[in-house]
Amino acid sequence: MEENTLAVQYSYDSSENLYPRRVLVTGGAGFIGSNFVHHWCNAYPEDRIVVLDALTYAGNRQNLATLEDREQFKFVEGNICDRTLIDKLLEEEAIDTIAHFAAESHVDRSILGPDAFIQTNVVGTLTLLEAFRHYWNQHQQPDHYRFLHVSTDEVYGSLGPEDPPFTETTPYTPNSPYSASKAGSDHLVRAYYHTYNLPTIITNCSNNYGPYHYPEKLIPLMCINILLGKPLPIYGDGQNVRDWLYVLDHCRALDVVIHRGKPGETYNIGGNNEVTNLDLVKMLCRFMDELASHHLPVKPSMDLITFVKDRPGHDRRYAINSSKLKTQLGWAPLVTVEEGLRQTVGWYLTHRHWWEPLLSEEYQAYYRQVYA
């Protein structure tokens, strides 16, 4: 799969672009944010990209290393709760678009300690909204300004086996501190459109996978543990279902939403790939055995599968209906789950230098807490 070709193929046609955008990307050093920045810089080299990231445990400047020399790229280390900094960045950089990814994003960490989730996901989003509202008003409310809020399907809660997939009108029923904090931020973003006319758009996406995914999440954790010959911990009976989307397909959807989406709207984004956790892990084992046959401490990797105590409040099933995005804005995912997972397994195999330094003492302490 040639990433750059796919990126260009599914981006907004730049001939429709009236002028280069000036985009503030919050959380741009994290997993999806950094993939988005790479996508955007490839597709729109004339646009200004300013990344604002607090570099928490999940933020990694290495993810952006190949962009650091570009004239139109700037990295700023800072917190989305810092109003003074945001006011200054909006003015100095003449920002017209905010792509808001910054968040505490891991359900298991939210169960261990919800405070940071409320602070960043709710208070941080409010701070950004307030700053953008004042800035937009001061500039006479230009039509083309956008505030894109990147959210999750987890706000909709859990589905039964026969339930239809989530649509944009499914009521919110978040079940974890993480999804509750994202739901709170979604409500604020919505309210800023209805109350102040601020041109906000919300996207709710299913589980992403791909390069630069921090080791604590299911897919990277399993890839890394296979390579290290460590147990593959599956929560409960392994029959929980997630809908998986390749991260660049998500980025292309956000691209289309920024350029063509309607302020005040919500768009669901999903891959239409419902898989149980157990089947997914088996697939990863199979790909790793094929790709790394001589380098694995334990083979077949499936021998490492271990069922562990379930996550509290573990949502049983997510599935998402993205027909609104497809029919109204013309997006469709390009990467099949088979192709995307194989490529991702290959990435973790060849990027040991990226993930090994992340397995720090702090990470090991977190790991013991969750899996002890």
Whether 324 contacts 168, CB under 8 Å: yes
Query: Which of these ranges, 12-20, 85-93, 103-111, 349-357, lies near ligand NAD under the rule CB under 6 A?
Result: 103-111
User: Taking the complex as a whole, how short is the minimal distance between the CB of residue 240 and ligand TYD, in angstroms?
Assistant: 4
Which one of 42, 56, 197, 328 is in contact with ligand NAD (CB under 6 A)? 56
* 117 scored as a contact of ligand NAD (CB under 6 A): no
Q: Is 178 a catalytic residue?
A: yes
Of the residues 53, 96, 153, 243, which is catalytic?
A: 153
* 167 scored as a contact of ligand NAD (CB under 6 A): no
Closer residue to ligand TYD in complex, CB, 22/282: 282
* 207 scored as a contact of ligand TYD (CB under 6 A): yes
* 81 scored as a contact of ligand NAD (CB under 6 A): yes
Q: Is 154 a catalytic residue?
A: yes
User: Taking the complex as a whole, how short is the minimal distance between the CB of residue 109 and ligand TYD, in angstroms?
Assistant: 9
Q: Is 267 a catalytic residue?
A: no
> Contact letters (x/-) for ligand TYD, 217-236, by CB under 6 A?
xx--x-----------xxx-
Q: Under rule CB under 6 A, how many of the chain's residues touch ligand NAD?
A: 31
* 151 scored as a contact of ligand TYD (CB under 6 A): no
* 240 scored as a contact of ligand TYD (CB under 6 A): yes
In the list ligand TYD, ligand NAD, none, the entry touching 233 (Cβ below 5 to 8 angstroms by class) is ligand TYD
Of the residues 47, 96, 104, 154, which is catalytic?
A: 154
* 98 scored as a contact of ligand NAD (CB under 6 A): no
* 277 scored as a contact of ligand TYD (CB under 6 A): yes
Q: Which residues bind ligand TYD (CB under 6 A)?
A: 107, 207, 217-218, 221, 233-235, 240, 242, 277, 311
Q: Which residues are catalytic?
A: 153-154, 178
